[in-house]
Amino acid sequence: MHLDSFVQAIVLPLSGGFLLSFLLELLLRPKRTVSWKRSPAAVCIHLGLWCFLFGLELALFARPYVAAANVLALILFVVLVNNAKYLSLREPFVAQDFDFFIDTLRHPRMYLPFLGIGRAVMSCAAIAGALYAGLTLEAPLTRSLPLTACVAGTISLSVFGSLLVWLSSKRHLPLTFEPEVDLERLGLLASLWCYGAEERKPIRVAGAKTFAAPAVRLTGSLPDLVVVQSESFFDARRLFPGIRPEVLCRFDRLKEAAVCHGRLEVPAWGANTVRTEFSFLTGLGNEALGVHRFNPYRRMARQGMPNLAGFLKRFGYRTVCVHPYPSSFYARDKVFPVLGFDEFIDIRPMGEIPKVGQYVGDVELAEMVGGLLDARSSIHRQPLFLFVITMENHGPLHFESPAPEEVERYYSEPPPAGCNDLTVYLRHLANADRMAGMLREQMEKLGGEGWLCFYGDHPPIMSHVYDALGVPGNRTDYVIWNKKRERGPTAFMNMKVEDLGVLLTQKMGLSPTSSSRKRVLSGMADNSRRADRSSLAGKDLR
């Protein structure tokens, strides 16, 4: 009898909230199709998660309408975060992004500007106000029903939801790991659940043996190697022809003297640096990573993977990463020792270095790297692999304002209205150009052979600029330079970032597996042909 009364008390908020949870998805960007076109298993996962979350809220507050409102508020918050992410990064929210909620508390300056500080404050205030109103206006069920009936009903509801999710998850729901496609087919809650469940499966990666081969030196002595993953670096002159060519004059000279250079297809756009970083180090692309492509440092990298650092270490290299930000960000402090790095130099010893904009500048970072190279040549005889991850051009760019003279400095003709972020970006891009030139000069002064690889991790976030000038594709730029290279034509090769490290070791006279060599060469040829066709329009746009 009491359980019947419990069901009567919750049926309206439970069923009404469930229907509203589907309607909230109409707010998602990019725009979704109607929810009843989904598979029954996806709808059942949605229903099961709704019942489970509703049961948890009911256990906390004993108020059915408050419970429904809280779960709807949670879904709405995820929808708003999804829309903010899609606006900046052109990718929907995925289960692996829940880590960013914790990172936002640790590094608020990194994330809140893209969500919108005002929007975040208003959302928190609205949730707190609604919760207070609900607790004040709605009486708890325990006033009209025995506590045992409320407890039994709440537990039954949560168990039903859990069983429904478990049984529905056993149905095969094929995932493409293209977030827009899977969100369209499964809906918000089901896609989040399936991505999370997929990540928890045992990790099996095809093609992870690129750098697992024994270290076999092919030619010459062991040279020092500096690899710079430059934050948001790409040749912006392709975006707007009015940008002065001198902005990247040192990079241009580096390309002229390089072993090879070209455009680099990267798996990140606007952010998510670790996607490009991990693919470069391991030689693994999205196809091999599956669901781990969204943040490989969450699980995959922590188990240890054959990679460039470990490969060079077996030759006798000392492997060092330099990154002017806390090493705990993206759990690099846990991941990089597993990957084979001997040392990680983060922001802590750089406290006295002045910031350029919001972060340690590229020029100042280049001076520090030069000091490490000097110390290596004068003290240690062990060859050095320096992997440098820059930060200066990270953004948010709209936190800075261009100076009036910078328009004349960086443009031969004024940019369209709304391009202030581009001018700020060019300020930092010019410093990245100076960094490339400084490292080349530093390595030329040192004795022995030296190699420099310089590439961009992804294009920057500049939404208003892209509205005016068009959206760049997911291609950055790279160069591989050797100080003892003989004069001759420079090879222009477009490739994927997962092939760049393999190509680099080949050019240095180090040999990963023969199958990897074949894959790289064929992949470069295919990528070059595709890039040549796409560049006929004059811009590298989507």
Least confident window among 64-68, 124-128, 372-376, 495-499: 124-128
Name the nearest CA neighbour of 187 among 272, 93, 286, 53. Answer: 93
Write out the two tokens for 536: 């006929």
Nearest to 431 by CA among 238, 250, 237, 240: 250
The per-residue pLDDT of the chain, averaged, comes to 87
Mean pLDDT computed over 202-216: 74
**One domain, residues 137 and 275:** no
Whether pLDDT at 513 is above 60: no
Residue that the structure tokens 């108020």 belong to: 63
Q: Is residue 209 part of a domain?
A: no
Decide which of 183, 199, 215 is a domain's last residue: 199
Residues 349, 417, single domain; the answer is yes
- Judged against a pLDDT cut of 50, whether residue 540 lies above it is answered with no
CB 525 within 8 A of CB 294: no
Query: How does DSSP assign 127-138, residue by residue?
Result: HHHHHHHHHHHS
Distance CA 349, CA 352 (A): 8
Contact between residue 384 and residue 317 where contact means Cβ atoms under 8 Å apart: yes
pLDDT at 63 over 70: yes
Pairing of strands 224-230, 384-389: parallel
Average pLDDT of the segment spanning 496-507 = 94
pLDDT (tens digit, 9 = 90+) per residue, 154-208? 999 999 999 999 999 988 899 999 999 999 999 999 999 999 999 999 988 766 5
| Domain CATH code at residue 255 | 3.40.720.10
In one-letter notation, the amino acid at residue 234 is: F
Whether residue 299 is contained in a domain is answered as yes
Mean pLDDT, rounded, for 54-60:
94
Does 230 lie in the same domain as 180? no
Angle at CA of residue 64, ends 60 and 66, nearest 5°: 70
DSSP structural state of residue 414: P
Q: How many CB atoms lie within 10 A of CB 221?
A: 9
pLDDT at 35: 55
- pLDDT at position 530 is 46
Q: Is the peptide bond before 30 cis (omega within 30 degrees of 0)?
A: yes
Indicate whether 208 belongs to any domain. Answer: no
User: In the structure, what pLDDT confidence band is assigned to residue 490 with cuts at 50, 70 and 90?
Assistant: confident
**Looking at residues 95-123, what average pLDDT do you find?**
71
Q: Taking 90 as the threshold, does the pLDDT of residue 93 lie above it?
A: yes
Answer yes or no: do 186 and 232 share one domain. no
The answer to whether residues 255 and 487 touch, using CB atoms and an 8 Å cutoff, is no
For residue 291, is it within any domain? Answer: yes
36 band by pLDDT with thresholds 50, 70 and 90? low
Q: What is the pLDDT of residue 538?
A: 38
191 alpha-carbon distance from chain centroid: 19
What gap in Å lies between CA 235 and CA 239, rounded to an integer? 8
- Average confidence (pLDDT) over 239-249: 97
Q: Which has more confidence, 441 or 517?
A: 441
In which domain, by residue range, is 288 found? 224-535
Same domain, 49 and 183: yes
Q: Which amino acid is at 399?
A: F
216 part of a folded domain: no
- Asked if pLDDT for residue 481 goes beyond 70, the answer is yes
pLDDT reported for residue 539: 42
What was the pLDDT predicted at 49? Answer: 98
Exposure on the CB side of residue 389, measured as CA atoms within 13 A: 27
Q: Tell me what pLDDT residue 206 has.
A: 64
- In this structure, the answer to whether residues 179 and 251 fall within a common structural domain is no
Domain contains 463:
yes
Both 461 and 527 in one domain: the answer is: yes
Q: How many domains does the chain have?
A: 2
In terms of domains, do 241 and 146 share one? no
Q: Of 126-135, 162-171, 218-227, 438-447, which gets the smallest average pLDDT?
A: 126-135
Q: Quick check: is 450 in a domain?
A: yes
Q: Poorest-confidence range of 59-68, 117-126, 305-314?
A: 117-126
Once rounded to an integer, what is the mean pLDDT over residues 474-484? 94
Domain assignment present for residue 487? The answer is yes
The span from the CA of 527 to the CA of 498, in Å, is 12
Considering only residues 126 and 281, tell me which one the structure prediction assigns the higher pLDDT. 281
Q: Confirm if 267 and 275 have CB atoms less than 8 A apart.
A: yes
Residues 236, 377, single domain; the answer is yes
Strands of 54-151 (E only): list them. none
Same domain, 191 and 288: no
User: 182 or 351: which carries more pLDDT confidence?
Assistant: 182
What are the angstrom distances between the C-alpha of 319 and each of 282, 374, 383, 478? 15, 16, 9, 21
Share of the chain above pLDDT 90, in %: 68
The pLDDT value recorded for residue 137 is: 85
Position 1 confidence tier, pLDDT thresholds 50, 70, 90: low
| Torsion angles phi and psi, residue 485, rounded to 5 | -65, 135
Instruction: Assess whether 191 and 267 both reside in one domain.
Output: no
In this structure, the answer to whether residues 130 and 258 fall within a common structural domain is no
Global model pTM greater than 0.85: yes
- Rounded (10°) CA dihedral 331, 333, 336, 338: -90
pLDDT reported for residue 325: 95
Q: Look at 503 and 32; give whichever has higher pLDDT.
A: 503
> At a CB cut-off of 8 Å and minimum separation 6, what does 518 contact?
none
- Say which amino acid occupies 484: K
